[in-house]
Structures are given as structure tokens and as C-alpha cells.
């Protein structure tokens, strides 16, 4: 059937028809809001490259967590900025570490809000790498033990789900085994399964103070040029016990997100990373784009590509927009 018998515009002609034929939905239930918890008190410092996002001490984190819950957002993803960093990232797996204290405070004051924790070493090591260093390089197998300790201390403090982001081989299995052996076989694991070495993490590294002090992350994070490798990484993590697969970054990797959606039955998450947020904010501040239109377009694109869950710094704004505020 061709023009003029068929006219594609007929069902686009009114808002009612457009509503009726929409293929993709976005709900507040799909969102996770990342937060940066800093050691100390009275701290609320805006990240210069991420307007609206703050490094905050625990009392401010708790206050914002209440706001997040009131907006109906089901979960937060926590990152920690410890008092001190060292070569082996001790604060990461200390029961009195910054994240452990933050988890306990949120679970006490905002028990209904799900707490997901980023499990990695880079925020806690003085060299800024995601594992411990031996002979100038990340020691994969020695790092696994520390990641498992870190994840265990998070769930002991009350974390509802752990999300390893380090990209070491075998880390999902190591964490799963440690959690299971310690009575936490009910705690789900969301793996940063498909994580690329990306320039889009720049603003995050300011927020988390986690820039590598030498070299870069290309020996553990994936090459942006690869797509088949994404399926392999996801397969390995599913074999090792991941419950949710994540693709990161999002916007430049929608093809990868679709690929993962089609190859696996497990829920798929996407991380709408810091640089993606900063670009929207910067262009909107200059009046070059409309923030709300572009943000909603980006988030629907993640849903259209197959994401069940979207981790995004826009979550609070989106929750308000979805309520019509
Ligand atoms: C830690 C981690 C990073 C991000 C999430 N977890 C940074 C990195 O790997 O360098 C990036 C998040 C963002 O850019 O918003 N490994
Ligand atoms: Zn890391």
C-alpha cells in the first residue's frame, strides 16, 4: 500500500492518536539515581561539570535520599569519597568506611529506598586504578579478593544490591561466592558487564576524585570499537551469577544495548553517564537545546534500545516531569 492510499501522518495527527500508538514507555520505576557521599560533615559541594549534582556528607545524603524516595524513584547508586586513600583501597572494605556508614544512615532514615552500591577500588586507591597495582599494572586476581570483601561489607551494612564496576576477570563469581558463603545468597548482583573505556566518564572522575594517577583504564575496560566482545562479556557475567546486566556508557552505545537486550533474557540496565549529563546541561545552559525535551528524548532512546533500568543523574528532574510538575 502506497501513497496516496496510505498516509503515515494520519495516526500522528492528534495527541490522542499519538498517545495510542506509542511503542515505548518511561516510568519512574525504571530509574536509579547516583549519589556521591563524602567523608566529613556539613559538606555540600556542587560538581563544577555536573550542575545539580553534589559531593555531600552523610546528613545531606540522607536528606536527598528522602527527596528521592518522595519522588517515587525506587533506588540510589552510591559512590564514596573516603577520608584517606591508600595503595590497597582500605576504606573500600572497612566496616567504618564512608560507604558502609552512608548505607547504614540511609537504611535507618529511609528504609524503603533501595540502596545499590558501586563496588570498585578506584575511589579508594591513591593511584586511582580500579584494582591493586603490581609491577606497574593492575593485578587482576589479587584484586578479586578485595572486591569480594568490599561487596560483603556493603551488604553487611545493609546494601540491597551490589554493582561491580571494576571490569576484572572473574569478579562476579568471586563476589557471588563470598556473598553466598556468608548468608547473603538473596542479594542480587547488577554487573557493569559491558563497560567501555570512555571519555564520557570525565566529569564523574571529578565527582568521585578517582582519576588514575598514571596510565589509563584501557587494559581492563573495553575498546569502543568492539561489539561482539560485549556479548562475550555479558555471557561470562551471566555464567558467573549476574542477575542484571549493565551497558555503559549509554548514548554512543545504543547498538550494544540492543544487542545485549536481544541476546539475554535477564534485565538490562544502562548507565547514562556523567559526560552525557554534562553535555545536555552545558548546551541547555547556553540556550542551545531544550533540557527537558532532549533529556526525555535520550531516556526514551534507552528504553527503545531495550533498557529496563536507567541509571541517570537526571532522575529527579525526570520523576518531576513524569508527574507533570
Ligand atoms: C568506577 C566507576 C566509574 C563510573 C562508574 N563507576 C568511572 C570509571 O570507570 O572511570 C562512571 C560513571 C559516570 O561517568 O557517570 N569504576
Ligand atoms: Zn573503578
Enumerate domains of the chain plus CATH numbers. Answer: 25-322 (3.20.20.70)
292 Cα–ligand 1 center, Å: 24
Which is the closest atom of ligand 1 to the Cα of 198? 10
Contacts of 295 (CB under 8 A, 6+ apart): 280, 314, 317, 318
Ligand 1 contact, 122 CB (< 6 A)? yes
220 Cα–ligand 2 center, Å: 10
Pocket test for ligand 1, best of 204, 218, 281 (most atoms within 8 A of CB): 204
pLDDT of residue 325: 86
pLDDT of residue 192: 98
Report the candidate in 225, 232, 272 with the shortest Cα–Cα distance to residue 77: 272
pLDDT of residue 274: 98
The DSSP letter of residue 42 is S
Q: What angle do CA 185, 190, 192 make, to 5 degrees?
A: 140
Q: Which residues of the chain have pLDDT under 70?
A: none
Confirm whether 45 is a catalytic residue: no
- Alpha-carbon distance of 106 to 177, in angstroms, equals 26
Which is the closest atom of ligand 1 to the Cα of 212? 10
- Alpha-carbon distance of 37 to 91, in angstroms, equals 13
pLDDT of residue 22: 97
Confirm whether 195 is a catalytic residue: yes
- Which residues make up the environment of ion ligand 2, defined by Cβ < 5 Å? 120, 122, 130
Ligand 1 contact, 174 CB (< 6 A)? no
Closest residue (by CA) to atom 6 of ligand 1? 165
Closest residue (by CA) to atom 14 of ligand 1? 201
215 Cα–ligand 2 center, Å: 14
Amino acid at each position: 500500500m502506497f501513497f496516496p492510499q496510505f498516509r503515515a501522518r494520519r495516526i500522528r495527527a492528534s495527541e490522542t492518536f499519538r498517545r495510542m500508538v506509542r511503542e515505548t514507555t518511561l516510568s519512574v520505576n525504571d530509574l536509579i539515581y547516583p549519589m556521591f557521599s563524602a567523608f566529613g560533615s556539613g559538606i555540600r559541594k556542587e560538581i563544577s561539570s555536573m550542575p545539580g549534582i553534589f559531593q555531600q556528607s552523610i546528613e545531606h545524603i540522607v536528606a536527598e535520599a528522602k527527596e528521592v524516595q518522595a519522588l517515587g524513584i525506587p533506588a540510589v547508586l552510591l559512590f564514596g569519597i573516603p577520608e584517606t586513600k591508600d595503595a590497597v583501597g582500605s576504606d573500600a572494605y572497612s566496616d567504618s568506611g564512608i560507604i558502609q556508614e552512608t548505607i547504614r544512615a540511609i537504611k535507618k532514615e529511609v528504609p524503603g529506598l533501595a540502596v545499590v552500591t558501586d563496588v570498585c577500588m578506584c575511589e579508594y586507591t591513591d593511584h586511582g586504578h580500579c584494582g591493586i597495582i603490581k609491577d606497574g599494572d593492575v593485578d587482576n586476581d589479587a584484586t578479586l579478593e578485595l572486591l569480594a570483601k568490599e561487596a560483603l561489607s556493603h551488604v553487611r551494612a545493609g546494601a540491597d544490591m551490589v554493582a561491580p564496576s571494576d571490569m576484572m576477570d572473574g569478579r562476579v563469581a568471586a563476589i557471588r561466592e563470598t556473598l553466598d558463603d556468608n548468608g547473603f545468597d538473596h542479594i542480587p548482583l547488577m554487573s557493569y558487564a559491558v563497560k567501555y573505556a570512555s571519555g564520557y566518564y570525565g566529569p564523574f572522575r571529578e565527582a568521585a576524585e578517582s582519576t588514575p594517577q598514571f596510565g589509563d583504564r584501557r587494559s581492563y575496560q573495553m575498546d569502543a570499537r568492539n561489539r561482539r566482545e560485549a556479548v562475550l562479556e555479558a555471557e561470562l557475567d551471566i555464567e558467573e551469577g549476574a542477575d542484571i546486566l549493565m551497558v555503559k556508557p549509554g548514548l554512543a552505545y545504543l547498538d550494544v544495548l540492543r544487542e545485549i537486550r536481544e541476546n539475554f533474557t535477564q534485565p538490562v540496565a544502562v548507565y547514562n553517564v556523567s559526560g552525557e549529563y554534562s553535555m545536555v546541561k552545558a548546551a541547555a545552559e547556553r540556550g542551545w537545546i531544550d533540557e527537558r525535551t532532549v533529556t526525555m528524548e535520550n531516556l526514551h532512546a534507552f528504553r527503545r534500545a531495550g533498557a529496563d533500568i536507567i541509571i541517570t543523574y537526571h532522575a529527579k528532574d525526570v520523576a518531576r516531569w513524569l508527574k507533570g510538575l
